[in-house]
Amino acid sequence: MFLNYLKGFAEASALYSEEPEFETTHLENVILHSMHLSKKRNLDEKLVMAIAMGHDLGRTHLKIHGKKHAKTGSKLMKKLLKDSDFSEEEKRIICDAIEHHNEKNKIHNEYDELIKDADSLAHRDDGILAEDNKYEQSRIIASECDLLEMAFAPVFEWISVYNEHVEILKAKYLDMDKCNNHPEEWVHEIRTGIRKLRTILKLLAPSEKKIQRKLDQWALEMSEARFLHVATVKSDRLSPKVNKKLNGLYKELGSKLTQKKIEKRIEQLNIEFDHEKIMSDSLARYERLIMDATPKNMHKLRVKGKSIKYLTQMGLMELSPREMVDAVLRLHDLLGDYNDFLEMADYFKDSSYKDEAKNLMESIQMEIFFIRKIILCCTTTKNVRYN
């Protein structure tokens, strides 16, 4: 009964508003998208309808424009709800959702999120979605994604890919032409090769701790050279001293890593895989990190993003929807650049590194928002987390 009354009230308010044509269509579009999303997310349809019908009353009925229309609309709704049989808790959910509905850059509870997403979808249909409104754009893409899933290849495939990459690493180590003529590529490829093997092992054979520690060491011995090379690429102001040191490091690595030594290393990588199985909670761990993306977590997020990148590249893992994969890879690249800037803050003292780091941080936050939205939109309500 109350919902029928509210519908009439909202329609009349739209009709007698300052822009009757736009407001009437917008109300219809928001109601349609809200109904669809409430089914998809398994939320209470009556609550969702009340929120959808009342969300813009501040503007249509009270003629309040701009940011304030949400808050005034929420107050009006509180009065209207007195005559309804919604419980006190339900009334609070409805009024909160209306009050928050234009805070598109924040993530609130599932009812608040639903009206924000439905409103964004309606804005697109109304033809008033600004191209630079990244938050509404993200909400639209995330709302239209399918279920979030992560699938793994069978164990035997993991083992064959592992063995294949052991051979690849060996060839990279022994590529003397590259070692002498393009040492920066040589270092980078070896580090990447080692990291790929470590990623496979971590999931396929978590008990192989000893060889994982070795792999860590082998990656680490390349790190300083890689770090200095990245620094020289990012800033041409670096002193000739840095270049001299870098060349020294390359020479040192080249003479240290003899054929005999490499063969010994490769020998250690020959593992008999027995009863190992893939630990498959990878996505859940990534989700937890994204949901709690504090600055302290950024490093873990970067490492986890890297392993998702390697595993999808090697065909051992499939993540869907596609938008999620793209966002993870983009976020991973941004975090990598940001990390370079942080680590090299001293070298970049006189450059514009502060501005660039600030821009990167903003892009990172946007990407995290997008991934969180996909996770929230594409999992069932029981998995919804609050801020």
Residue among 36, 37, 38 nearest 47 (CA): 38
Nearer to Fe ion, 51 or 253 (CB): 51
CA separation for the pair 335, 339 (Å, rounded):
6
Cβ 61 to Fe ion, closest distance in Å?
12
Residue 320: beta bridge partners?
149
For the record, the structure tokens of 241 come out as: 């001293």
Kind and range of the H or E run holding 82: none
Cβ 30 to Fe ion, closest distance in Å?
9
CA separation for the pair 349, 118 (Å, rounded):
46
Query: Tokens 């697109």 identify what position?
Result: 124
Q: Which stretch binds Fe ion (CB under 5 A): 49-57, 190-198, 259-267, 369-377?
A: 49-57
- In sequence order, which residues have a C-beta less than 8 Å from that of residue 150 and are 6 or more positions away? 280, 282, 283, 317, 318, 319, 320
Interhelix angle for 2-15 vs 20-40, to 10°?
A: 150
Q: Which stretch binds Fe ion (CB under 5 A): 1-9, 51-59, 246-254, 279-287?
A: 51-59
Residue 367 near residue 330, CB atoms below 8 Å: yes
Nearer to Fe ion, 23 or 340 (CB): 23
153-212: which residues touch Fe ion (CB under 5 A)? none
Nearer to Fe ion, 21 or 149 (CB): 21
Cβ 98 to Fe ion, closest distance in Å?
9
Residue among 10, 37, 25 nearest 124 (CA): 25
Cβ 36 to Fe ion, closest distance in Å?
19
Cβ 59 to Fe ion, closest distance in Å?
6
Cβ 294 to Fe ion, closest distance in Å?
31
Q: What angle do CA 240, 243, 244 make, to 5 degrees?
A: 85
Nearer to Fe ion, 98 or 257 (CB): 98
Give the nearest residue (CB) to Fe ion: 56
Nearer to Fe ion, 51 or 179 (CB): 51
Cβ 115 to Fe ion, closest distance in Å?
9
Cβ 26 to Fe ion, closest distance in Å?
8
Distances (CA, A) of 306 to 211, 217, 357: 20, 18, 20
Q: Which stretch binds Fe ion (CB under 5 A): 53-61, 104-112, 340-348, 373-381?
A: 53-61
Residue among 115, 112, 106, 108 nearest 27 (CA): 115
Nearer to Fe ion, 23 or 56 (CB): 56
Nearer to Fe ion, 56 or 117 (CB): 56
Cβ 77 to Fe ion, closest distance in Å?
13
Q: Which stretch binds Fe ion (CB under 5 A): 48-56, 83-91, 224-232, 320-328?
A: 48-56
Q: Which stretch binds Fe ion (CB under 5 A): 50-58, 142-150, 186-194, 315-323?
A: 50-58
| Residue 56 contacts Fe ion per CB under 5 A | yes
For the record, the structure tokens of 255 come out as: 């003479």
Burial class (CB in 10 A: 0-12, 13-18, 19+), 307: buried
Residue 183 near residue 250, CB atoms below 8 Å: yes
Q: Which stretch binds Fe ion (CB under 5 A): 36-44, 55-63, 307-315, 325-333?
A: 55-63
# of chain residues touching Fe ion (CB under 5 A):
1
CB 38: neighbour CB atoms within 10 A? 22
Query: Tokens 């092992």 identify what position?
Result: 201
Nearer to Fe ion, 69 or 302 (CB): 69
Cβ 24 to Fe ion, closest distance in Å?
14
95-154: which residues touch Fe ion (CB under 5 A)? none
Q: Which stretch binds Fe ion (CB under 5 A): 12-20, 56-64, 181-189, 278-286?
A: 56-64
CB 111: neighbour CB atoms within 10 A? 24
Q: Which residues bind Fe ion (CB under 5 A)?
A: 56
